[in-house]
A and B are shown apart, each in its own frame.
Chain A
Amino acid sequence: MTSPTEHLDPALRVEALASLLAERGLIDEATVETFIKTYEQSVGPMNGAKVVARAWTDPEYRARLLADGTAAIGELGFKGPQGEHMVVLENTPAVHHVVVCTLCSCYPWPVLGLPPSWYKDPAYRSRVVREPRRVLAEFGLELDDSVEIRVYDSSSEVRYMVLPERPAGTENASEEELSALVTRDAMVGVARVTAP
């Protein structure tokens, strides 16, 4: 078993594992490249942003999204690993949702891609279930005391995504323009979407 006293440089460990697995035909360069390209180029927060922009501009879609997140997100073609069952949480002026995985770093890959550093960091995982208002303020999101905070800890295979509030001043924006405003951080619930 790996010993805590003998730290191996992780990049070197990866190279060693990859070479051992490759020579036994258990992994190959093409598969590795395909995986990396997929999560660098095709699967990321731009997918979730399309879902949000659609929900902001199409009330019927929004209703379907809140009733059955998996199906409504699937309508836009987004599905796959870490998105087996999606639940969408709607932020309002009165209620603010924020999502975490305290036990690992579960995250809705099909709509948000792979999690950012701050989401995987012990400070976020440990604190947001204990002092969310303080954590959000540290991120720069000051919520009025009247806003109720609801924290979701993703401990099963259900994946949560936040539907942020549409910013004021975007009444004439197109769906495409709106999707360009939506950030990953807003869809986890640690930021607001702001108008340009």
Chain B
Amino acid sequence: MDGIHDMGGMQGFGHVQKLTADPPFAEPWEGKAFVIGALAARISGTNLHAFRHAINRVPPPEYLAGYWNRWTIGAQILMEDSGIVTDEQVRARAARLSGRDVPEPPEPEPHKPEMPSAGAGNLRSLDTPPAFAVGDRVRTADLDPVGHTRLPRYARRRTGTVTAILPSQIFPDTAAHFVGENPQHCYAVEFDSRELWGPDAEPFRLTIDLFEPYLEPAQ
């Protein structure tokens, strides 16, 4: 989906923050938020890609209201989708924790997705050889994604060069929707900054990891 999360190249966010040596959790609730998110995929019977897709579906104003805020709401969306919690339940419990005597809505009926997994982690071996070799020129897809993808907007319809063949991995675009792990070859693809941002771009090279279905041979 073309959501707020796909930020590469967006303008208007202002200066970068100062390089402070902040601890992982500025406040105790942030640590607890981290753990809820870290366990959300297991609790909901889903996976890492579905969690990322849930964070991407956090409404933009909430997405921009802090990292642990979007992380927590993403975890909640993931668990809502599997019938572990409802938003009504969370809000009622929050009200009760704040001292308001509101009724607790009923618990939902869990309905976890069923997707076979070939094991832990995301790396998978493939019997088929990779379609591209180091040095090949490739063109990225012209996607109109309704669901999850790891091909960002700024890298679509662009021509680059394969610089490394990376380990084949679970395909996020299908795993996030429980269609299947559908492992794919993955490549480091390098782009000239002018291919991405036009002739007046700062000179640099950008490398991004791209799954084989995103790529076709460059003409």
Number of interface residues of B (CB under 8 A): 91
Give complex CA distance A157, B18 in Å: 27
Cross-interface CB contact of B122 among A8, A18, A84, A131, cutoff 8 Å: A84
B1-24 residues with Cβ-Cβ distance < 8 A to A are 5-11, 13-24
Q: Is B146 an interface residue (CB 8 A)?
A: no
Cross-interface CB contact of B76 among A4, A13, A36, A129, cutoff 8 Å: A13
Q: Which residues of A contact B (CB under 8 A)?
A: 1-4, 6-21, 24, 26-27, 31-32, 35-36, 39-40, 44, 81, 84-85, 87, 102-105, 113-114, 116-118, 120-127, 129-135, 138-140, 148-158, 183-185, 190-191
- Closest residue of B by beta carbon distance from A13: B72
Tell me the minimal C-beta distance from B118 to chain A in angstroms: 14
B79-138 residues with Cβ-Cβ distance < 8 A to A are 79-80, 84-85, 87, 89-91, 93-94, 97-98, 107, 121-123
Contact call A2/B202, Cβ cutoff below 8 A? no
Q: Which residues of B contact A (CB under 8 A)?
A: 5-11, 13-25, 27, 29, 31-36, 38-39, 43, 52, 55-56, 58-62, 64-69, 72-73, 75-77, 79-80, 84-85, 87, 89-91, 93-94, 97-98, 107, 121-123, 150-152, 154-155, 164, 166-167, 169-170, 186, 188, 196-197, 201-211
Cross-interface CB contact of B8 among A2, A81, A126, cutoff 8 Å: A126
By a CB distance below 8 angstroms, the chain A residues around B206 are 129, 150-153
Give complex CA distance A16, B95 in Å: 9
Number of A-B contacts (CB under 8 A): 255
Contact call A156/B150, Cβ cutoff below 8 A? yes
A122 and B33 in contact (CB under 8 A), knowing A4-B62, A103-B152?
no
Contact call A123/B19, Cβ cutoff below 8 A? no
Contact call B152/A26, Cβ cutoff below 8 A? no
**Please, could you name 30 A-B residue pairs with CB atoms under 8 Å apart, sorted by A?**
A2-B73, A3-B87, A4-B61, A6-B91, A10-B66, A12-B97, A13-B72, A16-B93, A16-B94, A20-B85, A21-B85, A24-B107, A27-B39, A35-B38, A39-B25, A39-B31, A44-B24, A85-B167, A104-B52, A114-B34, A117-B67, A118-B19, A123-B16, A126-B10, A127-B13, A130-B11, A130-B202, A132-B202, A153-B8, A153-B208
Give complex CA distance A117, B66 in Å: 9
By a CB distance below 8 angstroms, the chain A residues around B35 are 27, 31-32, 35-36
Contact call B169/A129, Cβ cutoff below 8 A? no
Tell me the minimal C-beta distance from A57 to chain B in angstroms: 24
Tell me the minimal C-beta distance from B197 to chain A in angstroms: 6
Contact call B17/A4, Cβ cutoff below 8 A? no
Give complex CA distance A32, B43 in Å: 14
